[in-house]
Structure 1
Amino acid sequence: MDPKQPEEDEVMDQFMDKFRTQKYKGAFDEDSWEQEFEKIPMFMKKAPDEINPEKTPELACLQSILFDSDRSPEEQAKSYKEEGNEYFKEKNYKKAIIAYTEGIKRNCKDAELNAVLYTNRAAAQFYLGNYRSSLNDAVTARKQKPDHLKAVIRGALCCMEIKNYAEAVKWCDEGLKISPAEKKLLETRTKADKLHRAAERDARKLKQAEKKKQAEKDSLLRAIKDRGIKILEQSNKKEDDDEEEEETSGPLQNGSENVTGAQVFIDENGRLHWPVLFFYPEHSQTDFISAFHEESRFIDHLNEMFSQDLPPWDEERKYLVHDLEVFFEDETSQSFYQVNPESTLLQVLQHSRFCVKAGTPSFLIFVKQSPFCKKYFSDKKLHRIH
């Protein structure tokens, strides 16, 4: 028997007695062992957003080993690619982009690996909705490896998202040269071609509609000019912060439509219909006629508005057709001109002192010889149209 054996047994007994009396300080807590277990790098299901050497020294050590600068650029790039892939699987696309970007920064000489890094980053950008950035990465990936099929597919899908269907067709055609039976490219090309044709058809229709609209506008402007009707337009020039206004017999540049949306138009017989405003200063009321035919007389509209039911604001019931007078204001001379109710709208618009403002001729209606009418014009220049 070995004389040392009793001594070794005694030492072992003492060691075991120590464990029976003292609890192991590094043991897991029975209530939180699962959470503590996940803190061990080998068993982590998800890496923390930020690696702190003080809080997770083991993880920091592993990261240092994986991305040690002493390793070759290819090895480092591959490690970043794998890290990015893990983030991608977790749908943490922002983290995946950061990892792929770090891999790209290694500037390794492996064109295949670089193409994968760019393509993977393009995929992450795509799922974040960054379609332009994704497309740029797909283009760069193909510069690294022209026949990289995943990059071609990603480029085609990006073009679809930004509605550049013609480019999507080109990407698909290039990809089908690499892999003629690629299902995703075949499906995408069919859809892109259909949408491209529809977009071209819509563009042609829009162009034709714009051309027709411009022709109608030109015809309208010629009709106004030929009648000698003057338009009061706002000048682009400003003095002392006040907008100037100028008379012009030229085209309606920005005053053909009023706030109601109604605007002057020319009918199939070449006659103009104007939106017209009637103001009643005594009662601060207005009437709007959306389409006053230029050959219609003022008396015709007054009869229609006042011969049947008088307006509710006319409590004194004095707005009777035969007692009404019509005026327009010449703002440049601060004068008022009385209109003969038997006149047509065109006759008044052609008057030398009449200007159409904001695309809408406007007139003032008063009760003849009423106290308000006399007071209103007491300090104003008044002219009668013969």
Structure 2
Amino acid sequence: MGRVPEEIDPKEYPELAHIQAIIHDEDRTPEEKAQSLKNEGNEFFKEKNYPKAIVAYTAALKNKCGDQDLETVLLTNRAAAHFHLGNMRSALNDAAAAKKIKPGHLKALIRGAQCCIELRNFATAIQWCEEGLKAHPTDKKLQDLRAAADKHKRAAERDARKAKVKEKKLNHEKEALMAAIKERGVKLLQPVKPRQSGSDGEDDDEGSSTAVAELSLDGLSSHKATGAQVFLDEQNSLHWPVLFLYPEHQQSDFISAFCESNSFLDHFAVMFGEQLPPWDVDRKYHLQNLQLFFEDEERETLYKVDPETTLLKVLQHKRFFVKVGTPSFIILVNGSSFWKQYLTGKKMQAL
């Protein structure tokens, strides 16, 4: 028989069942039982059945036989099984426990260094290697692990420096961006969590779901939804992601970088030039027919915008609020039946 079956039927294998009973005989000494369980764990390990090997080694350690050499081997073997399962923390703990019993145990030192490298704790890996090389100065495995840990450590330190420089640059860019927005007087709007019923205090904007945000990137979260965000170019001009809505057809257009100094007409000439949108089946969205609005939801008012106006001028309007980093506008066809229906009952003001 090449291997012991995982479950033995006493009727089919009476001799093996008897042998297994002897192995686990309670009358045997703790050292004998620990040794038998270690051998059983080793068989499972050879078969790459690491979970069962761990169970066997753990059962052996519970016997507390007092044999330091055997306990060290059990711990290093269990560490190896954990390592092959990817349980690096458990493997490291076992290697450390084995090293505590026998500080110069080579397998424990090698396994501890390997675990630290896998856990990307390269400085500690180097400590394990150096400790091992004091006891085993010519061991090739420890030398190689020491070199690998040092290489990884230097690479990690280099990456950390690069990340710090990048973070510093990003923070500087964010500060410059927010300063530019503040300088222009653009107002950001972000959702406000509703008050829970029964909470203390009065809500001055009862029923309101938005509020003017402090100048922070929390009010510029459009990047998550659209992949675009306002940015400041080298000429100190802001470029905004802008959304155009066509309520008549429930359609929209998105411009990822609308320069603040450009007029709406600059974009309309492209959007409604030679080729009209495919959803415009009546072919009425011609440049001369369009009317542009932005909505003040709080006051339920539409503001009509001259297409020749620059984006910046609109953003600076006292009643324009940028929602989640994306200015939005409504486009209607002047004089159409939908135009009349949509504007009925709405308050209107010119920009």
Between the aligned partners of 1:300 and 1:92, the Cα distance in structure 2 is 69
- Comparing 173-182 and 367-376, the one that deviates more: 367-376
Give the TM-score normalised by the residue count of structure 2.
0.89
TM-superposition CA deviations, 1:169-216 (whole Å, max 9, x none):
221111111101111111111122112211221122122212211221
TM-superposition CA deviations, 1:234-255 (whole Å, max 9, x none):
1134457x98221235324143
Aligned to 1:327: 293
TM-superposition CA deviations, 1:223-276 (whole Å, max 9, x none):
112211111101134457x98221235324143425221111111121111111
TM-superposition CA deviations, 1:11-66 (whole Å, max 9, x none):
xxxxxxxxxxxxxxxxxxxxxxxxxxxxxxxxx43222134555544334333434
Q: What secondary structure does 1:233 align onto?
A: strand
Aligned to 2:238: 272
- Which amino acid in 2 is paired with 1:375? Q
Q: Does 1:156 align with 2:156?
A: no
Aligned to 1:9: none
Aligned to 2:215: 250
Between the two proteins, the alignment pairs up a number of residues equal to 341
Aligned to 1:87: 44
Between the aligned partners of 2:218 and 2:301, the Cα distance in structure 1 is 26
Q: What secondary structure does 2:115 align onto?
A: helix
Q: Does 1:348 align with 2:325?
A: no
Between the aligned partners of 2:48 and 2:221, the Cα distance in structure 1 is 55
The Cα of 1:285 is off from its aligned counterpart by: 2.8
Aligned to 1:73: 30
Give the TM-score normalised by the residue count of structure 1.
0.81
* Superposition map of 1:100-119 within 5 A: 100-119=57-76
- Comparing 372-381 and 330-339, the one that deviates more: 372-381
> Structure 2: 5+ residue runs without aligned partners?
198-206
Q: Which has the larger radius of gyration?
A: 1
Cα pair 1:234 1:243 within 8 Å, conserved: no
Between the aligned partners of 1:282 and 1:245, the Cα distance in structure 2 is 26
Between the aligned partners of 1:256 and 1:150, the Cα distance in structure 2 is 52
Between the aligned partners of 1:212 and 1:157, the Cα distance in structure 2 is 36
> Structure 1: 5+ residue runs without aligned partners?
1-43
Aligned to 2:183: 226
Cα pair 1:166 1:192 within 8 Å, conserved: yes
Cα pair 1:225 1:249 within 8 Å, conserved: no
Aligned to 2:94: 137
Cα pair 2:57 2:77 within 8 Å, conserved: yes
Between the aligned partners of 2:35 and 2:276, the Cα distance in structure 1 is 88
Aligned to 1:18: none
- Which amino acid in 1 is paired with 2:90? S
Identify if the C-alpha distance between structure 1 residues 248 and 254 changes in structure 2 by more than 3 Å, giving closer, same or farther. closer
RMSD of Structure 2 on Structure 1 (CA):
2.3
Between the aligned partners of 1:303 and 1:45, the Cα distance in structure 2 is 82
- Comparing 312-321 and 149-158, the one that deviates more: 312-321
Q: Does 1:377 align with 2:343?
A: yes
* Superposition map of 1:172-191 within 5 A: 172-191=129-148
Q: Does 1:59 align with 2:16?
A: yes
Instruction: Percent identity, please.
Output: 55
- Comparing 328-337 and 45-54, the one that deviates more: 45-54
TM-superposition CA deviations, 1:300-339 (whole Å, max 9, x none):
2222333433334434443333332211000101110111
The Cα of 1:152 is off from its aligned counterpart by: 0.7
The Cα of 1:380 is off from its aligned counterpart by: 0.7
Identify if the C-alpha distance between structure 1 residues 329 and 69 changes in structure 2 by more than 3 Å, giving closer, same or farther. same
Q: What secondary structure does 1:83 align onto?
A: helix
Identify the structure with bigger relative contact order (alpha carbons < 8 Å, sequence gap 6+). 2
Identify if the C-alpha distance between structure 1 residues 313 and 100 changes in structure 2 by more than 3 Å, giving closer, same or farther. closer
Aligned to 1:212: 169
The Cα of 1:342 is off from its aligned counterpart by: 2.5
Aligned to 1:14: none
Between the aligned partners of 2:333 and 2:18, the Cα distance in structure 1 is 97
Between the aligned partners of 2:29 and 2:209, the Cα distance in structure 1 is 74
Cα pair 1:326 1:365 within 8 Å, conserved: yes
Cα pair 1:257 1:263 within 8 Å, conserved: yes
Identify if the C-alpha distance between structure 1 residues 123 and 316 changes in structure 2 by more than 3 Å, giving closer, same or farther. closer
Q: What secondary structure does 1:50 align onto?
A: coil
- Which amino acid in 2 is paired with 1:118? L
- Which amino acid in 2 is paired with 1:251? S
Identify if the C-alpha distance between structure 1 residues 146 and 216 changes in structure 2 by more than 3 Å, giving closer, same or farther. same
Q: What secondary structure does 1:253 align onto?
A: helix
Between the aligned partners of 2:119 and 2:246, the Cα distance in structure 1 is 55
Q: What secondary structure does 2:349 align onto?
A: strand
Between the aligned partners of 2:120 and 2:320, the Cα distance in structure 1 is 51
Between the aligned partners of 1:92 and 1:305, the Cα distance in structure 2 is 65
The Cα of 1:108 is off from its aligned counterpart by: 1.8
